[in-house]
Amino acid sequence: MPERDKTIAIIGQGYVGLPLAMAAIGAGWSVIGVENSPAKFEEISRGSSPVEDVADSLIQAGQKSGKYKVSNSSSAVKDASIVIICVPTPLDEKRAPDLAILESAVKGIAPHLAFGTLVISESTSYPGTVRDVVKPLIEKLKSAPDVKIDIAVAPERVNPGDAKYHQKNTPRLVGGLDAQSTTRAVDFYSTICDQVVQVSSPEVAETAKLLENTFRLVNIALVNQLAQLCGDQNINVHEVIDAAASKPYGFMKFTPSVGVGGHCIPVDPMYLSWWAEKNGKNASIIEESDEINLGMPIYVAKRVRELLPSTAKRKRVLILGVAYKPGVKDVRETPVTALRNDLISHGCEVAWIDPLVSEWEGLKPADASWECDVAVVATAQPGLPIAAIAARGVPILDCTGVFKDLPNVTRL
């Protein structure tokens, strides 16, 4: 058994927890990865990675060296001096924060935390979550009243599929509930990151994380609305954006799309707007941006239908790329679902292809030779047979802006 002082436990071995585990092993830590999904636990146990950014060989090397083991029991945290929570924080059916998974994870570990353990939450949530939700649960459920637990927040900023920015070169925000918690969390992240940014409270770290993703949501909504404004005015929105981007300061380029997807951009800003409402305020810019982005698949579906040849009887539409962004197989919150549903509700026959996704909503991908009346590129996934489809004379609506040089392609 590795020494407790040099052992960390990571709750949740998904997009955030597994890369963190591998980075920590690289920095000399022994890691216990706690994963409660039986399928993921089994997959990782046999040395196979459920996350694109983590190679199987890394997991296998960790297992072989004894530096990494995966457990399906929260009680495994008893052997760690630092416990890092990396579990999902989704929205409920009213698009309000759903902290049930986070609360359940904290309840699971609290009775097993040894004296002096540092608990860090990397899960994204609204300001005050760690102070008002995580801490009281730990205090209530820890094994004895005199078991001292340090607590901090260090929001994850990982960008799945990003070859340039990873754990080491992405600065890490850290805020603890007291000076000791902060110092210990800063010391830990300094072993895996080049730069740790210490802030004065967990609430500053929690709010900064929400600001980062709200910034993206709002700017994406801005260009998506501009795409709709330019769409019927014979102004190419991509040319407009490129022209604006020639300004060397004060402008950041965002491009139109089918909408926003994944676990972060459609979700995190809603935590901020829910928190504003809880405090009697209204984050109207978030609500408006959310509405614009949610409306994009419906707008795209209309543009697709406009490209259908008038002779098309079955109105067969092929969707190219269904993951929420290129380079990943993640289909969580993908806006392509709304696009597909809207096309079907307008009588279209819809099939899809995505080289990284083997099954989507219980459906298998179509064959690239499927005869369609129109194709729509929703996500610029590598390996899509777009050139071959364009060469067949099929009209294509490109929502990604990437395929402008192919014949028969109309850009959003």
From the list 5-13, 141-149, 290-298, 389-397, the region that binds ligand NAD by CB under 6 A is 5-13
Contact call for residues 197 and 173 (beta carbons, < 8 A): yes
Query: Please, which residue, 16 or 153, has the CB nearer to ligand NAD?
Result: 16
Report in angstroms how near the CB of residue 316 gets to ligand NAD at its nearest: 34
Query: What's the distance, CA 384 to chain centroid?
Result: 22
14 is a site residue for ligand NAD (CB under 6 A): yes
97 is a site residue for ligand NAD (CB under 6 A): no
Question: What distance, in Å, lies between the first and last C-alpha atoms of the chain?
Answer: 57
104 is a site residue for ligand NAD (CB under 6 A): yes
173 is a site residue for ligand NAD (CB under 6 A): no
Query: Is 230 known to be catalytic?
Result: no
The burial of 60, by beta-carbon neighbours within 10 Å (0-12 exposed, 13-18 middle, 19 or more buried), is given as middle
Query: Please, which residue, 87 or 353, has the CB nearer to ligand NAD?
Result: 87
36 is a site residue for ligand NAD (CB under 6 A): yes
Report in angstroms how near the CB of residue 223 gets to ligand NAD at its nearest: 21
Query: Please, which residue, 361 or 367, has the CB nearer to ligand NAD?
Result: 361
- Which residues are paired to 397 by β-bridges? 376, 410
Applying CB under 6 A, which of residues 59, 82, 87, 389 lies at the interface with ligand NAD?
A: 87
Report in angstroms how near the CB of residue 35 gets to ligand NAD at its nearest: 5
89 is a site residue for ligand NAD (CB under 6 A): yes
Q: In terms of Cα–Cα distance, which of 400, 142, 90 is closest to 271?
A: 90
Which residue has tokens 């083997």? 358
Distances in whole angstroms, Cα of residue 392 to Cα of each of 35, 307, 311, 316: 47, 15, 17, 15
DSSP-derived secondary structure for 379-400: S--TT--HHHHHHTT--EEESS
Which residue lies nearest ligand NAD, judged by its C-beta? 14
158 is a site residue for ligand NAD (CB under 6 A): yes
Helices (H), 279-325: 284-307
Q: Which residues bind ligand NAD (CB under 6 A)?
A: 11-17, 34-37, 40, 86-89, 101, 104-105, 108, 122-124, 156-158, 160, 263-264
